[in-house]
Amino acid sequence: GAAGLYEIAYRLVFQLRAVLVASTQVIVPRLTHERARGSAAGMAAVTKLTASLLRLAGPTLWAILIALPLLSAALLGRVDGMLLVYGLTLTLAWLVNAVAVPAYFGNFVDGALRTNRTSHLVMLVAAAVLGTSAGIFFSGLGVVVGTSLAVALGSAVILVSRRHELATIRLDVTRADYAVNAVGLLGAAAVYFVAAATVPLDREVYAALLA
């Protein structure tokens, strides 16, 4: 059912999000050290790490979208279109959340815990309101979209709280970034196109593996 598809998509997306977040936790000791010295370098670290996560967000998105059909085939014996939609929706929401993690840690070190608590409160209220109302009209898909929007809104609160610092972000996008994202986009688009077409399961799996 819808709950099972959601669980599969959520597990994959959240586990990969956890990897991204774990790689950013080393910023906390640095921020604490810089704050104790009265240095502004810590805030620059938040900006630089946020920029790095923004550059990683695209490749991560494409990787998850390409992996979802393989996961669906392995667990369900078919490539389920609704699972792919759930995965796309959850991925977009949790990537916004992952990008907001450096700012979250920055607020934590600065003692701006009220902002972080407000973010969690926004997620909680929005998930209840949007998830319930959208679920009534659009069933399982509505719940997924509603709760994903709640995650994105709560994360936006964190990003807005550091807007003056984050406004100075320089992504320094390279040709390799463009190439990786172009290939990833084409690969994900091909996988979804094949999944939407009426083709045997083995060909869908081959398409995902090739992508």
Residue 175 is encoded by which pair of tokens?
A: 């040709």
Task: Quote the pLDDT of residue 147.
Answer: 92
**pLDDT tens digits along 21-46:** 887 877 777 777 777 776 666 677 88
- The candidate with the shortest Cα–Cα distance to 84, out of 201, 191, 199, is 191
**pLDDT tens digits along 69-123:** 888 888 888 888 888 889 999 999 989 999 999 899 888 888 888 999 999 999 9
Separation between Cα atoms, residue 63 and residue 85, nearest integer Å: 15
Separation between Cα atoms, residue 50 and residue 46, nearest integer Å: 6
User: pTM for the full model?
Assistant: 0.85
Mean pLDDT of 157-180: 89
Separation between Cα atoms, residue 69 and residue 9, nearest integer Å: 10
Local structure of residue 201 (DSSP, 8 states): H
Q: 13-22, 89-98, 184-193 — which is least confidently predicted?
A: 13-22
**29 neighbors 171 (Cβ within 8 angstroms):** no
Q: Determine which helix (DSSP H) or strand (DSSP E) holds 55, and give its type and residue range.
A: helix 41-76
Separation between Cα atoms, residue 34 and residue 151, nearest integer Å: 30
Separation between Cα atoms, residue 185 and residue 87, nearest integer Å: 15
**166 neighbors 50 (Cβ within 8 angstroms):** yes
